[in-house]
Amino acid sequence: MQERKPLQKNAPARKLTSKIDIAQSGRLALSAEEQKRLNTALIRAVQNGVKEKILQLIKAGANIAATDNDGLTALHHAAIYGRTKLCSLILTEYARASGNVIDLIETKDNSGWTSIYRASMPGHTQTAQFLEDMELLADATGNAFMKSFGECLAT
């Protein structure tokens, strides 16, 4: 009979230091409360314009279409602050997750306003125009366009 040798790994296991690390590892199913915290953190990251944090939270399972108490999505918040690149990032990640970007763009907050209207209110005409263009392109070409558009922006 052959002697058993202890398993050896090439690299030591990385210690999971946060709930996000644990969620990304797939070792923990998120509770409703944890999901809510991720969603809230995503909206805050958008408000603060922190792209790396946004991507980390989406990877950890934050719901891009989740709303805050005012019915505002992450896209609404990016539009309010005139963050066109973040709008593009949010739409691209939503398309990758098989979401219909038109639905996200046309989502109305509790006041009945879309992200396009929210962008135009404080005078972020470039962001509003971008969202209108993306809505038209997504309508004409589907989510495949948004996925390839995101790849172009990443380079």
Report the CATH number at residue 136. Answer: 1.25.40.20
Question: Is the per-residue pLDDT at 109 higher than 80?
Answer: yes
Q: Based on the structure, what is the number of domains in the chain?
A: 1
Residue 39 binned pLDDT confidence (cut-offs 50, 70, 90)? very high
For residues 147 and 80, the model is more confident at: 80
User: What is the domain extent for residue 127?
Assistant: 30-154
Residue 152 binned pLDDT confidence (cut-offs 50, 70, 90)? low
**What is the arithmetic mean of pLDDT over 52-64?**
96
Distance CA 87, CA 128 (A): 10
**Predicted local confidence at residue 12, as pLDDT:** 38
23 lies in a domain?
no
**Predicted local confidence at residue 54, as pLDDT:** 97
63 lies in a domain?
yes
132 lies in a domain?
yes
**What is the arithmetic mean of pLDDT over 99-113?**
93
The CA angle 116-118-120, to the nearest 5 degrees, is 70
The CA angle 110-129-138, to the nearest 5 degrees, is 80
The pLDDT tens digits for 17-26 are 454 554 544 5
16 lies in a domain?
no
3-state secondary structure of 150: helix
Residue 9 binned pLDDT confidence (cut-offs 50, 70, 90)? very low
Find the Cα–Cα–Cα–Cα dihedral 36, 37, 39, 43, rounded to 10°: 140
15 lies in a domain?
no
70 lies in a domain?
yes
13 lies in a domain?
no
SS3 content of the chain, % helix, strand, coil (to 5): 60, 0, 40
* pTM (two decimals): 0.77
2 lies in a domain?
no
Question: Is the per-residue pLDDT at 143 higher than 70?
Answer: no
Tokens at 62, concatenated = 């934050």
Question: Is the per-residue pLDDT at 83 higher than 60?
Answer: yes
